[in-house]
A and B are shown apart, each in its own frame.
Chain A
Amino acid sequence: MPHQWIDLTALWLTVRLAAVTTLILLVLGTIISAWIVFTRSRLRAVVEAVCALPLLLPPTVLGFYLLVLLGPQTAPGRLLTHIVGHPLAFTFWGLVIGSVIYSLPFAVQPLVAGFQSVDPALREQAALLGAGRIRILREVLLPLSKRSVLTAVTLVFAHTVGEFGVVLMVGGDIPGATRTLSIAIYDQVQDFSYAQANHTSILLLVVATIALVATYWRAPHRELTHV
C-alpha cells in the first residue's frame, strides 16, 4: 500500500479528539475555575492541587490509573460500561476522558488567572446590584477574561493534539479508533518510515508553534486617552 503523505485517519481522529476535549474543558474548566475564585472553602487548595496534578504526574501513571478506573474491576468502570454498553478503555470516548483529565490544568490555570485579574470591586458591585454567582461569571468575569479564555482554548487544543503517553495507555494503538498523530509518528519510526514521520512531526510542530504564538500574542499597546 503506497504511503500517504500523512495519516489522514489519524489526523481526523486527532482533530476530533482535540475539539471534543476543548469543548468539554471549556465548560468544565470554567465551572471549576469559577468555584476556585468564588469559594472560601479550605478545599480550594486541594482542588487546585488536584487540577494541577497532571502537570507533574508522568502520563503513564495517569494513563495506568485511568485504564484501571475505566475497566470492569472498579465501580466507576462498571457504571460507565453499564451506561455506554461497552468498556470505555481502548475507545474514542475513553481517549476523551483521558484527554480531559490530562489537559485539565491547561484550562483551569489560565481561567483562574483571568478571573482573579478582574478587579474584585467589580464583582462586589455586581453582587450589590443583585447578581448571583452565575450572572457575575457570565456578565462580568467571562467578558473581562476573553484573553484567558482564548489562551485556555488554544493550550488545551494544542496539548491534546500532541499528547502521547495517556493516549497510548488508555487507547492503545487502534487505527481509526484510537491512533492519534503522535502515536502514528511512533509507529512510522518503528516502521523506518522516516519521511512520513517527518511530515507528521512538521504538522504537529506547526500546530504547537501557532498555538504558542496565539497565546503570547498581545494587541499593540494603546495610548491611554483621558477626556
Chain B
Amino acid sequence: MSEAPSQSNLLEASINHRYPHFSVDVDFRITSDPVASQPKTSWTILFGPSAAGKSTLLRILAGLATPQQGRIILNGQTLLDTTSRIVIPPGRRDIGFVPQRAALFPHRTVAENIAFGLRHLAPAERTQRIDEMLTLVDAQSLRDRKPDRLSGGESQRVAIARALAPRPRMLLLDEPLAALDAAAKPQIIHCLRRSGIPILYVSHDLSEIWQLPAQTLLLEAGRITANGPLQQVLAPHRETLLTQLQ
C-alpha cells in the first residue's frame, strides 16, 4: 500500500503471513461503493477454492490472528500496522464476524446472545436494539429460546443479528451458508441485504454467489489473482472453478 487512505476506500489491506506449508500474501482495497450502478449493495465476495486462505485472511482482518507483516485500514483508521506495532484487538475494530458455525453462546437465550455486545447501552436502549435485530432477521419468535432449540438456519440468522447489534462498520462472513440446506439460504441472504452494512463474504460456492451484485476478490493459493465486478472476475474462471469444485 503506497497510497494514503482516501475516504472512498472502506478497507485497505496489505498482508503477508507465512505458515510452514502455506502463505497468504495479499494487497487489496475495498471501496465504500463497490458497484457504482447498485449503491445499496456494498458487498464484496472473497471467492476461491478450498484451502486458498480465505478463512485465514478473514481472521486476520477480524483481529483473531496477527500476520507476520501487514497493514489494515478501515475507514481511514489503522487497525493493524506491524511496522508501527499497532494491533487493535478484535473487540475494538468495529468489525462483525460470523463464522461458518454460528457459535452462539449455548447457555444464553437468543436475546441474551444478541445483548452480549450491547453492554455499553442503557437497558431500555439495549432492549430496543435487540428488538430491531430480531425484526431484521425475522426471529422475534425465537427471542427466549436457547441455541439448542434452533435449526441451523435460525442459528445463523441469530449469529448475524448478534454480530450486527453493536453497529459494526463492516461485517465479515465466513461461508455462512455452507452448512445449511438450500431452503434456508435465501432468507439469510435477504436478511443480510436488508442490513445495509458493508459485507465481505467468503464463499467457495459459485452457485451461492453468482447472482449477487458485488465486487469480487479472487483468492488462489494465498494470493489475490483478480479483483472487480463478480461476473467479470469469475467469468474467465468459471469452467475451471466448476471443475475444481466438482
B residues in contact with A127, CB < 8 Å: 64, 89-91
Does A124 belong to the interface (CB within 8 Å)? yes
A residues in contact with B91, CB < 8 Å: 127-132
Does A1 belong to the interface (CB within 8 Å)? no
Q: Are A124 and B117 in contact (CB under 8 A)?
A: no
Instruction: Give A224's nearest chain B residue, CB to CB.
Output: B148
A residues in contact with B90, CB < 8 Å: 124, 127-128
| Known A226-B151, A227-B149, A227-B150: A128·B107 in contact at CB below 8 Å | no
Does A140 belong to the interface (CB within 8 Å)? yes
Chain B positions 75-108 with a Cβ under 8 Å from a chain A Cβ: 89-92, 95-97, 99, 101, 103, 105-107
Instruction: State in angstroms the CA–CA spacing of A226 and B63 once bound together.
Output: 34
Instruction: Give B64's nearest chain A residue, CB to CB.
Output: A124
Instruction: State in angstroms the CA–CA spacing of A131 and B89 once bound together.
Output: 10
Q: Beta-carbon contacts of B206-240 to A below 8 Å, as 1s and 0s? A: 00000000000000000000000000000000000
**CB proximity of B133 to chain A, nearest CB, Å:** 13
Q: Are A119 and B92 in contact (CB under 8 A)?
A: no
Instruction: State in angstroms the CA–CA spacing of A125 and B92 once bound together.
Output: 13
B residues in contact with A125, CB < 8 Å: 97, 99, 103, 105, 116, 162
- Please, how many residues of chain A have a CB less than 8 angstroms from a CB on the other chain? 19
Does B48 belong to the interface (CB within 8 Å)? no
- Please, how many residues of chain B have a CB less than 8 angstroms from a CB on the other chain? 28
| Known A121-B99, A121-B103, A143-B107: A128·B64 in contact at CB below 8 Å | yes
Instruction: Give B154's nearest chain A residue, CB to CB.
Output: A227
Q: Are A225 and B92 in contact (CB under 8 A)?
A: no
Q: Are B103 and A122 in contact (CB under 8 A)?
A: yes
Q: Are B92 and A130 in contact (CB under 8 A)?
A: yes
Q: Are B101 and A121 in contact (CB under 8 A)?
A: yes
B residues in contact with A124, CB < 8 Å: 64, 90, 97, 99, 103
B residues in contact with A139, CB < 8 Å: 116
Q: Are B116 and A225 in contact (CB under 8 A)?
A: no
Interface residues, chain A, with chain B CB atoms under 8 Å away: 119, 121-122, 124-132, 139-140, 143-144, 225-227
A-B pairs, top 3 by smallest CB distance, nearest first, are: A129-B117, A130-B91, A121-B103
Interface residues, chain B, with chain A CB atoms under 8 Å away: 62-64, 89-92, 95-97, 99, 101, 103, 105-107, 116-117, 119-120, 148-151, 154, 162-163, 166
Given A124-B99, A127-B64, A140-B105: 6 more A-B contacts, CB < 8 Å: A122-B103, A122-B105, A130-B91, A131-B91, A144-B107, A226-B151
